[in-house]
């Protein structure tokens, strides 16, 4: 474990330099969130008139949901970097060296976390320019970023672990789509839980994606329920740690099949 921090720092720097050389990747991943924010924000702005909808502005309601969906579709592709390393032989060289296996996972998660923070900040700025107002202020935005990073850690780790098992980009894309789309729509990212069917409300109570949305939305409100926020942040932290640990064990499966 003594090597975890230095190895993680070195590998994170490597990935961040690679990401910095491809800013188009970050920009392309913002196209879909911008469509949701600009198009859905206008198309469904009157949905707040439905009885039970707890906010007066759909744009303010939608913004945390867009941030969280950006997290899902960005971190769900994290394993593609592992597959690229496998195809170029980099992964085999890494695993034959004394590098800490968990450091490989932590570095990937850290790189995804930085990317998500940049994307989320842009989404918030665009929402503010469109007229949104968040009573939670800077603190609320920081809490939303923290929740997003924890969700990123969980989904990026799962993507990496699955990449080590399936080893093909096609299979990883299928897995990512199969996981992210249902979890997105079984949450309150786009619509309030109060107006959703009963069975969706029940499922969303166990959905980490919904925990992130609710914690973010609550923190951005003028009068946050910090107990609810901290409870969901704790749940997200537990899920993230479990996902990192499980994904790290996938290195053994990869090495056994070499």
C-beta of residue 78 within 8 angstroms of C-beta of residue 156: yes
pLDDT, residue 79, reads 87
Band (pLDDT 50/70/90 cuts) for residue 1 is: low
Residue 89's pLDDT is: 86
- Percent of the residues in the chain that have a pLDDT greater than 70, as a whole number: 96
Average pLDDT over residues 86-94: 86
**54 pLDDT exceeds 70?**
no
DSSP string, 71-92: HHHHHTTTHHHHHHHHHTTHHH
- Residue 32 is inside which H or E element, if any? helix 31-35
110: pLDDT strictly greater than 70: yes
**Both tokens of residue 81?**
């970097």
Phi and psi torsions of 205, nearest 5°: -65, -20
Contact (CB, 8 A) for 67 and 124: yes
Q: What pLDDT does residue 243 have?
A: 94
* pLDDT grade for 148, boundaries at 50, 70 and 90: very high
pLDDT at 3: 82
**CB-based contact 48:55 (threshold 8 Å):** yes
- pTM, entire model: 0.90
User: What percent of the chain is helix, strand and coil (3-state, nearest 5)?
Assistant: 80, 0, 20
218, pLDDT greater than 90: yes
Cα separation, 50 vs 193, whole angstroms = 12
Mean pLDDT of all residues in the chain? 87
Position 210 pLDDT exceeds 90: yes
pLDDT at position 258: 63
């Amino acid at each position: 474990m003594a090597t975890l921090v230095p190895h993680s720092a070195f590998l994170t720097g490597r990935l961040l330099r690679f990401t910095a050389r491809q800013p188009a990747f970050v920009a392309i991943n913002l196209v879909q969130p911008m469509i949701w924010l600009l198009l859905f924000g206008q198309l469904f702005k009157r949905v707040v008139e439905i009885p039970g909808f707890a906010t007066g502005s759909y744009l303010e309601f939608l913004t945390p949901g867009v941030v969280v969906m950006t997290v899902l579709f960005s971190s769900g592709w994290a394993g593609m970097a592992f597959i690229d390393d496998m195809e170029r032989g980099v992964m085999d060289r890494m695993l034959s060296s004394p590098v800490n296996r968990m450091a490989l996972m932590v570095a990937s998660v850290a790189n995804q976390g930085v990317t998500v923070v940049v994307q989320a900040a842009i989404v918030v700025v665009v929402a503010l320019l469109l007229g949104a107002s968040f009573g939670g202020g800077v603190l609320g935005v920081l809490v939303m970023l923290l929740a997003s990073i924890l969700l990123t850690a969980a989904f990026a780790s799962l993507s990496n672990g699955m990449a080590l098992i399936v080893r093909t980009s096609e299979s990883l894309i299928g897995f990512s789509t199969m996981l992210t789309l249902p979890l997105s729509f079984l949450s309150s990212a786009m619509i309030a839980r109060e107006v959703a069917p009963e069975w969706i409300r029940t499922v969303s109570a166990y959905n980490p994606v919904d925990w992130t949305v609710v914690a973010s939305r609550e923190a951005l409100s003028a009068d946050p329920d910090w107990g609810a926020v901290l409870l969901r942040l704790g749940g997200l932290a537990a899920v993230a740690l479990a996902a990192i640990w499980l994904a790290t064990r996938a290195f053994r499966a990869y090495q056994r099949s070499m």
